[in-house]
């Protein structure tokens, strides 16, 4: 199974050259069966790109592989969120995690970035393809060198006080702009240069309900503002899947509790869930089908379940579609 993610600004001709290079590299695969399958998939993608002039603005996900019936399956899917870098995977299954997390974001969830660079604090959100500046605060910290008339020790104390006040103000600003939207936040990434981003963690208690959404991964970026946010977002791709799976386990845990405590608020199967949507009863949708999730995204919270965790098997076992209702349906 061959998967290739390409950013919107990628050059189509260069993508074809890359696939041909992978074709040459695949000659080193020892298993003849595997080598043939990989090369057939790569040829299929090269043919797919033959008439392509440019990629969608957000980028594209390309999939090709041999089916159980020995037929070739090839798909090109416009990404619902920005693809920041090329990703090529050749394995036993398609790499759909980025696409799944992207659909989940497009269904209403946001990723927030707090960018600290010593001159300012910026808070951004990304929801689907939309980048938004939520808040920023400029600061003028003293440099490492003391000014005339100040001892080095006194200057260092003053600088520490300035920095601490800056981080407190930043934490309060983050809480103020993100707390009203905490229910729709997938995660909050902290990013910056130097040691500021780590010192910020000392003020997490000022974040209120946002504290529980702060990602354990602290990102290092070389720039501030919008450029720093985009640099952080490019790094964050590799951590998002773990965040999605953690939230998935929490969602399934709530689903299981309702099965025991209030089963009338649950409904299963596509037909019954469609009926619940028609009656406006769906509070949250749980599904293993990204296309169904995108179709039903408006008006409720959507959880795309991977089916790869032990917890998620309860949903797989009932057909992959279920809903948590505002209140029980009438029979």
pLDDT at 197 over 80: no
Which homologous superfamily is 262-325 in?
Answer: Ribosomal protein L30/S12 (3.30.1330.30)
Residue (of 44, 61, 63, 45) closest to 6 by Cα position: 61
Q: Give the domain 2-95 fold.
A: 3.30.960
Helix (H) or strand (E) holding 4: strand 2-6
Can you give the pTM of this predicted structure? 0.50
Which of 24-33, 65-74, 155-164, 187-196 shows the highest mean pLDDT?
Answer: 24-33
Is residue 61 within 8 Å of 76, Cβ to Cβ? yes
Output the pLDDT for position 289: 81
Is residue 273 within 8 Å of 322, Cβ to Cβ? yes
Percent of the chain residues topping a pLDDT of 70: 83
Mean pLDDT is lowest, of 54-63, 65-74, 98-107, 283-292, for 98-107
Mean pLDDT confidence for 60-87:
79
Q: In sequence order, what are the residues at sequence separation of 6 or more whose Cβ sits closer than 8 angstroms to the Cβ of residue 231?
A: 191, 221, 222, 223
Name the token pair of 49. Answer: 């790109």
Q: What are the structural domain ranges in the chain?
A: 2-95, 107-242, 262-325
CATH class of 107-242: alpha beta
pLDDT at 234 over 60: yes
* Pairing outcome for strands 266-268 and 321-325: antiparallel
Residue (of 191, 181, 200) closest to 234 by Cα position: 191
Mean pLDDT over the full length of the chain? 82
Helix (H) or strand (E) holding 97: helix 97-106
Percent of the chain residues topping a pLDDT of 90: 24
Q: Which has more confidence, 22 or 68?
A: 22
Name the token pair of 159. Answer: 């600088």
HSE (side-chain half, CA atoms, 13 Å) at 207: 21
Tell me how far apart the alpha carbons of residues 233 and 191 are, in angstroms, rounded to a whole number: 10
């Amino acid at each position: 199974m061959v998967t290739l993610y390409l950013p919107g600004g990628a050059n189509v001709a260069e993508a074809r050259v890359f696939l041909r290079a992978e074709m040459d590299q695949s000659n080193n695969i020892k298993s003849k069966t595997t080598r043939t399958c990989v090369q057939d998939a790569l040829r299929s993608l090269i043919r797919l790109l033959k008439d392509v002039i440019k990629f969608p603005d957000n980028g594209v996900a390309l999939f090709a592989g041999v089916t159980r019936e020995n037929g070739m399956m090839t798909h090109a899917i416009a990404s619902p969120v920005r693809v920041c870098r090329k990703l090529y995977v050749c394995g036993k299954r398609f790499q759909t995690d980025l696409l799944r997390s992207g659909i989940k974001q497009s269904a209403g969830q946001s990723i927030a970035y707090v960018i600290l660079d010593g001159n300012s604090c910026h808070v951004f959100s990304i929801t689907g393809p939309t980048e938004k500046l939520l808040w920023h605060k400029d600061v003028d910290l003293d440099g490492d060198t003391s000014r005339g008339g100040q001892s080095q020790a006194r200057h260092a104390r003053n600088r520490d006080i300035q920095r601490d006040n800056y981080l407190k103000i930043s934490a309060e600003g983050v809480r103020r702009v993100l707390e009203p939207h905490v229910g729709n936040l997938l995660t909050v990434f902290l990013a910056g240069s130097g040691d500021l981003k780590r010192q910020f963690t000392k003020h997490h208690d000022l974040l209120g309900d946002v504290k529980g959404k702060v990602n354990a991964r602290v990102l290092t970026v070389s720039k501030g503002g919008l450029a720093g946010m985009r640099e952080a977002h490019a790094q964050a791709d590799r951590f998002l899947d773990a965040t999605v799976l953690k939230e998935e386990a929490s969602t399934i845990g709530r689903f299981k509790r309702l099965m025991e405590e209030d089963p009338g608020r649950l409904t299963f199967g596509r037909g019954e869930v469609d009926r619940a949507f028609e009656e406006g009863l769906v509070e949250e949708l749980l599904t293993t089908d990204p296309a169904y999730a995108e179709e039903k995204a408006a008006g409720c919270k959507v959880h795309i379940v991977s089916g790869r965790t032990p917890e998620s098997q309860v949903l797989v076992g009932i057909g992959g579609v279920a809903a948590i209702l505002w209140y029980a349906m009438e029979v």
